[in-house]
Structure 1
Amino acid sequence: MENLLIKNGTIVDVENGVTFVGAIEVKENKIKRIIHQGEVLPEGIETIDAEGKYIIPGLIDMHCHIHEGFAPHFVASGVTTVRNLAGNVKLLKNLIEKPDHAPTPRVYAADRMIDGSPGQWGPTSYGNFVTDDPEEARKEVRRQLEVGAKFIKLYGWIKRDVMEAAVDEAKKHNLEVAIDLLNSKDVTALEAAEAGVNWIEHASGFAQEMYKGWNLFEDQEQWSHINWEHPDQEKVREICEKMLAHNVKICPTMVVLDQPFQYPNIWSPKNKVIESIESKNHPTEYWKSHEELVDKIKEQTAVVNNLTKAIAKTYYDLGGTVVAGTDTPALLYTYPGMALHRELELFVEIGFTELEALQAATVNAANSIELNEIGTIQEGKIADLVILNKNPLEDIKHTRDIDLVVKGGKAYNQEEILSNIPSEEEINRNLQAFMEEWEAVHAK
């Protein structure tokens, strides 16, 4: 790869909340030098003039379920790294092993989720592992470590003793544990935190702790006295303080609840990336199938939508780690890559500053999983950059007004990135090869 110089741009220092006009010299995949105004610029290398534009670090989606077919859409949206919350590491092998400069995001992945019987997503498969046996959970954690899982994902129907065993085993191997308790009947967020779980996804399990005996599967009539629209701030603060004592981290994924809640007036700005996504069968057909269930989805999201927002803001104000994620492509129109921009808007809507929202998808996100080479624009870090046409610190909506994306030192416009979307045939071929290998191993 050739070296690159980006000059005359306004560089956004997301760590310190300041901006300055300068240049960024990139050597191969790393930032070689930050050059301030007045200093001599290197000559004879490819140069991008970013005058009047704003440069931020590549964005990080801290909760998604990536797929080869829409991986380039993330990068075209300025999302250069994703944290994949369950799936299968081997199925993602092609993406995980791509070179730094590839027009697909860097993938930090869990393997299949560990759930309790009968399994919310059905019986054990390549994407989930269902057990009520603590020893089996320990074995599964060890297997996931061997195949390259970066952390462990637990799911809502897991039994408490199984959760405790999985967490204990993960800790032996220095693996963090994330849990999704949206549909939990038996475990609350505080119980998970007390067991040593590091991450509470969707800010879930808080309602179960605040209102003992409540869950989404109960007859909601008996809980009609709860004002879900205006959460009890005293209760929210009380549980947030207890959670903070365990140093858990929260990824609220507000957009996944907000999109169905707003339906049919979903957030859907017209741009190249969204047009490209909507032209693909997957995940568009999946979203359309959910439109038929929208009343039920709305009913359930109405219960936790405002509570999730209250938890995110309160926990952050108390000093807790709160990062930005989307749960793409779950429920309704969580557009790969673009949904993160809506999540940042929601951060601002609930009271975060523009800078704080940006930090939730850059420096704070990277630090939360110790990805020390990304998240800021600094010498020696990987050159993942987004060149914006307007200042995101004035209006967070400007994060989606993208001029160029630099991924691992290589500059792309959005059309170039979107031209790398694989064909349906290629995707199906790769999936078939994976399934044949999986079945050969697990049919024993």
Structure 2
Amino acid sequence: MTQHYVIRGAEVLDFDIGDFSRQDLEIKDDKIKTILEPEKPVSGVESINFQGHYIIPGLIDMHVHIKEGYAPYFVAAGVTIVRNTGGNVHELDALIQASNDAPTPHVYSTDRIIDGTPGLWGDTSPWNLNVTNEEEVTREVERQAKAGAKFIKIYGRLPEQLVAHAVKEARKYNLDVSCDLLHSKDVDALTAAKLGVKWFEHASGIIQSIYPNWSMSAEQSSWDLIPFDQPDEEAIRRVCEKLLKYDAILCPTMTLFDQMRGYPNYWKPEHTLIQAIETNSNLMNQWQAISQHEEALQPLAIQSKMNQRIAKVYADLGGKVVAGTDTPAGIYTWPGLALHRELELFVENGFSPLQALRAATVDAAESIGLSHIGSIQPDNQADLVILKANPLEDIKHTKNIHHVIKGGHLYSQHEVLNEIPDDEEVLTNLRRFINRFNEEVNEDWYEDMIKEFS
């Protein structure tokens, strides 16, 4: 990791002034050593000229489901850290333990999601656990905490009593609880917040708080009563004001809903990364299979404008809203690149470009207690994105990436894309994980699963 150089000539994003300013950056090993006045000499150190370019902190996608097979795409897109909101920390060990300058993002992860029965994602597996009582919740939260989970993720079919118990148990280990209430019938956002849930993925549960008779499984007559395309801003504000009292954090994942709403004319920019991702047969087959059932996309697609309005109202009230994508869930949520669409949607929804960038950098980092990333300061992690144009003038410029610096290592996009592992390597590692995890939990899923991946 030994490296020492100075970046000269670039405009550097300074959140203290809310703009770019001409600064030189001295990078040593994986840290920003100092911020220099332009052209100040540093003897014996290589200088790299990026005159005419713009430097922002490495981006943070606050809602993903990352896998080894597509992890480098994030870094190629300037996303240097991800918050993994459902999976298994043992499966992600190699990514979590990777060196700071690896061509994969830092991973801040929960473990498998905790749901009620029947679980939305099927039977219990290495990636989800369906529980029926407090003892099972206690045991699982303890296991996840000891395994290294950074927070606990619960799902919408978990009964209110068990939501409360999950929060109680998580607090023993100083872990926040995150929820996905999209499919919840009995627990809405205000109820969850009162119970101590901190994070609301997809800004979920708020529609149920506004319209108590509605859920994803409600009769069509209940859907027809909700003005999804012309959201009732006053009704949204009333609920958001109450939610704000609990310091709830929203991650709206606007891109998830917007891609479904736009289908078949979904967001697909002309970009090197799109071409690379389209060679990933696993991702493309997944999205193509889902998109064949267009009618099944509509219940989420119709929520797009409501989701965006909730995010803006909550932010205007002073609430914390961070940027995430749910990659690769839904359809064509391109790993890494989808976060750039999320930033565009922030701006289209009334956020300033600076606010959008904060939601994917410094505000995101602060929300998970990481003070050494998310801004360009001395001693911070040297995770940076070098852009060809000013994103404060047009947020779409975040896609115009010249280089990415990860842990002090200067990468071109091409260099990162060369690090995509082959399918056989991924499958071998998956089998190894399944065997290892089965030894830990000894659950009923093992025999069928090991056959599936043999």
TM-score range, shorter chain: over 0.9
1:155 CA displacement: 0.6
Q: Distance in 2 between matches of 1:15 and 1:294?
A: 45
Distance in 2, Cα, partners of 1:365 & 1:271 = 26
SS in 1 for 2:185: coil
State the alpha-carbon separation in 1 of the partners of residues 210 and 140 from structure 2.
Answer: 32
Tell me how far 1:130 sits from its aligned partner: 0.5
Give 1:414's aligned residue. 413
* Separation in structure 1 between the aligned mates of residue 338 and residue 380 of structure 2, nearest angstrom: 26
CA distance in 2, matches of 1:194, 1:281: 43
1:246-269 deviation line (CA, Å, top 9, x unaligned): 000000000000001101111111
Q: Which moved more, 1:268-277 or 1:140-149?
A: 268-277
Kept in 1, the 8 Å contact 2:181–2:189? The answer is yes
Rounded to whole Å, the distance in 1 between the matches of 2:337 and 2:223 is 36
CA shift at 1:282, angstroms?
1.9
Instruction: Give the partner amino acid of 2:415.
Output: E
Alpha-carbon shift at residue 123 of structure 1 (Å): 1.4
The secondary structure found in structure 1 opposite 2:9 is strand
Contact 1:116 1:130 in 2 (8 A): yes
1:198 partnered with 2:198: yes
1:12 aligns with 2:13: yes
My pick for the range that moved more, 339-348 or 42-51, is: 42-51
Residue correspondences, number: 442
Matches within 5 A, 1:20-419: 20-37=21-38, 40-297=40-297, 299-419=298-418
- The SS at the match of 1:138 is helix
* Aligned-residue offset at 1:45: 2.6
Q: Distance in 2 between matches of 1:198 and 1:225?
A: 29
Deviations 1:286-305 (A, max 9, x none): 000011112221x2124321
Structure 1: unaligned runs, 5 residues or longer = none
Task: Check whether the contact 1:5–1:48 (CA below 8 A) recurs between aligned residues.
Answer: yes
- Code of the aligned partner of 1:112: R
Alpha-carbon distance between aligned partners in 2 of 1:302 and 1:273, rounded to the nearest angstrom = 25
Q: Tell me, in whole angstroms, the C-alpha distance in 1 between the residues paired with 2:84 and 2:5.
A: 30
CA RMSD, aligned part only?
A: 1.1
What is the CA distance between 1:48 and its match in structure 2?
Answer: 1.8
- 2-structure distance, mates of 1:322, 1:213: 26
Match of 2:446 in 1: none
| 3-state secondary structure, aligned to 2:22 | strand
Mapped to 2, the partners of 1:196 and 1:223 lie a distance apart of: 29
Query: Are the equivalent residues in 1 in contact too, given 2:8–2:38 (CA < 8 A)?
Result: no
CA contact (8 A) 1:14 1:56 kept: no
Q: Using the TM superposition, name which of 220-229 and 422-431 deviates more.
A: 220-229
Report the equivalent of 2:450. none
CA distance in 1, matches of 2:90, 2:27: 32
Counterpart-to-counterpart distance in 2, 1:27 and 1:271: 32
Does the 8 A contact of 1:6 with 1:47 survive in 2?
yes
Residue aligned with 1:264, SS: coil
Mapped partners of 2:316, 2:252: distance in 1: 14
Deviation at 1:439, TM superposition (A): 2.5
Distance 2:349 2:105 in 1: 28
Q: Which deviates the most, 63-72 or 264-273? A: 264-273
Q: Distance in 2 between matches of 1:439 and 1:145?
A: 18
- The letter of the residue matching 2:204 is S
C-alpha spacing 1:103/1:131, structure 2 compared with 1 (3 Å):
same
TM-aligned CA deviation for residue 134 of structure 1: 1.7
The SS at the match of 1:261 is helix
Give the TM-score normalised by structure 1: 0.98
Are the equivalent residues in 2 in contact too, given 1:15–1:376 (CA < 8 A)? Answer: no
Query: 2-side partners of 1:302 and 1:424: how far apart?
Result: 32
CA distance in 2, matches of 1:435, 1:420: 24
**Alpha-carbon separation, structure 1, partners of 2:89 and 2:223:** 40
- 8 Å CA contact retained: 1:386, 1:402: yes
- Summarize deviations over 1:186-216 as a string: whole Å, max 9, x none: 1100000000001000001111111112101
Change (3 A) 1:53 1:217: same
Distance 1:44 1:282, change over 3 A: farther
Which stretch shows the higher mean deviation, 41-50 or 399-408? 41-50
Structure-1 separation of matches of 2:46 and 2:139: 51
CA distance in 2, matches of 1:249, 1:167: 15
Distance in 1 (CA, whole Å) between partners of 2:252 and 2:222 is 27
Conservation of the 8 A alpha-carbon contact between 2:14 and 2:20: yes
2:145 alignment partner, SS class = helix
Q: 1:223 to 1:424 in 2, by over 3 A?
A: closer
Separation (CA, whole Å) in 2 of partners of 1:331 and 1:132: 28
* Alpha-carbon contact 2:84-2:110 (below 8 Å) kept: yes
CA distance in 2 between counterparts of 1:332 and 1:302 reads 11
Identity of aligned residues (%): 48
Secondary structure, counterpart of 2:23 in structure 1: strand
Q: Which moved more, 1:59-68 or 1:205-214?
A: 205-214
3-state SS of paired residue (2:161): helix
| TM-superposition CA deviations, 1:224-259 (whole Å, max 9, x none) | 122111111111000000000000000000000000
Task: Provide closer, same or farther for how the CA distance between residues 222 and 271 of structure 1 changes in structure 2, counting only shifts above 3 A.
Answer: closer
SS in 1 for 2:410: strand
CA distance in 2, matches of 1:16, 1:166: 41
**Matched residue, 2:3:** 2
Letter of the aligned partner of 2:178 in structure 1? A
Contact 1:228 1:302 survives alignment (8 Å): no
| Per-residue Cα deviation, 1:116-168 (whole angstroms, up to 9, x for no partner) | 00101111110011112122112111110000000000011111000000001
Describe the SS at the equivalent of 1:184. Answer: coil
SS in structure 2 of the partner of residue 111 of structure 1: coil
Residue type matched to 1:24 in 2? L
CA-CA distance at 1:15 after TM superposition: 4.4
Corresponding residue of 2:441: 442
Q: What amino acid is the match of 2:314?
A: Y
Partners of 1:383 and 1:318 lie apart in 2 by 33
Structure 2 unaligned regions, length at least 5:
444-454
- How much has 1:307 moved relative to structure 2? 1.1
